């Protein structure tokens, strides 16, 4: 039976989670169970491998962290659901392009359940509602195993997106679930998204785990407001 461990984590700074993902992937064995981490981050801009610093327009006091995922610059902050997927794609027989499409479709199907019409955009990975970006994707694959994942805007302060060219696109507008009169927290949004991820990625079972991953530094956590 294809299964994965799902961990609902507290809000935390970005870098401990980033380092934990790298450590998890480096320590993987052929029989390591896949994991999915759901969390929120303290405010941070992350700049992917293809990222150019000129797309950071005005970071203010928000830290900018260079990371090893694909893509350009994005923002993470409270009220945004971040889902890190640490999966053995080779074992599952899923190619990278197919994987990205499955992540997008999971978000589209979740939004459809909320009566929101999510859509893809050519040459601009992610999910859009009314032409505005509601979910961003960033992926890193090493030795057939992936980490990083997706970020879904739920109920957050969108103002920091004005400090960057989101995903490298000047003037790209962003939106969130709460803009459409739907009230939910990032944690609640995970409950809607996880079944879609399970279906799209072909898992028969998600095992819920309350403990944080062993690679995660304990000082990275923050209480959720």
CA dist., res. 198 & res. 191, Å (int): 11
Q: Where are the domains of the chain?
A: 3-220
CA dist., res. 85 & res. 145, Å (int): 10
Residue 83 backbone dihedrals phi, psi, to 5 degrees: -125, 115
* CATH code for the domain defined by 3-220: 3.30.930.10
Spot the catalytic one: 38, 145, 146, 167. Answer: 167
Rounded to two decimals, the pTM is 0.93
Q: In this predicted model, what pLDDT tens digit does every residue of 42-56 receive, in sequence order? A: 999 998 887 778 778
Q: What are the CA-CA distances from residue 127 to residues 86, 105, 113 (Å)? A: 21, 9, 15
Q: Is 210 exposed, middle or buried (0-12, 13-18, 19+ CB in 10 A)?
A: exposed
Which pLDDT score is estimated for 61? Answer: 93
CA dist., res. 40 & res. 9, Å (int): 8
Q: In this predicted model, what pLDDT tens digit does every residue of 183-219 receive, in sequence order? A: 999 999 999 999 999 999 999 999 998 888 887 755 4
In the residue annotation, 146 being an active-site residue is answered as: no
The runs of H, that is alpha helices, within the chain are 14-26, 89-92, 96-112, 186-201
Q: In this predicted model, what pLDDT tens digit does every residue of 173-188 receive, in sequence order? A: 999 999 999 999 999 9
């Amino acid at each position: 039976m294809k299964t994965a461990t799902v961990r609902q984590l507290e809000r935390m700074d970005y870098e401990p989670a980033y380092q934990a993902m790298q450590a998890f992937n480096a320590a993987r064995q052929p029989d390591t169970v896949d994991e999915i981490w759901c969390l929120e981050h303290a405010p941070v801009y992350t700049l992917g491998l293809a990222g150019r610093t000129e797309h950071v327009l005005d970071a203010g006091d928000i830290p900018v962290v260079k990371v090893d995922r694909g893509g350009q610059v994005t923002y993470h902050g409270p009220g945004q659901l971040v889902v890190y997927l640490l999966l053995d794609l080779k074992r599952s027989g899923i190619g990278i392009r197919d994987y990205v499409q499955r992540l997008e479709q999971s978000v589209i199907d979740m939004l459809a359940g909320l009566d929101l019409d999510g859509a893809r955009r050519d040459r601009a990975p992610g999910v859009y509602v009314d032409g505005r970006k509601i979910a961003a994707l960033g992926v890193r694959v090493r030795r057939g195993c992936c980490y990083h994942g997706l970020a879904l805007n739920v109920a957050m302060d969108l103002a920091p997106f004005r400090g960057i060219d989101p995903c490298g696109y000047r003037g790209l507008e962003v939106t969130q679930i709460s803009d459409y009169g739907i009230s939910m927290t990032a944690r609640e949004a995970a409950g809607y998204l996880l079944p879609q991820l399970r279906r799209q990625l072909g898992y028969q079972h998600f095992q819920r785990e309350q403990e944080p991953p062993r690679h995660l530094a304990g000082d990275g956590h923050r209480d959720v407001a």
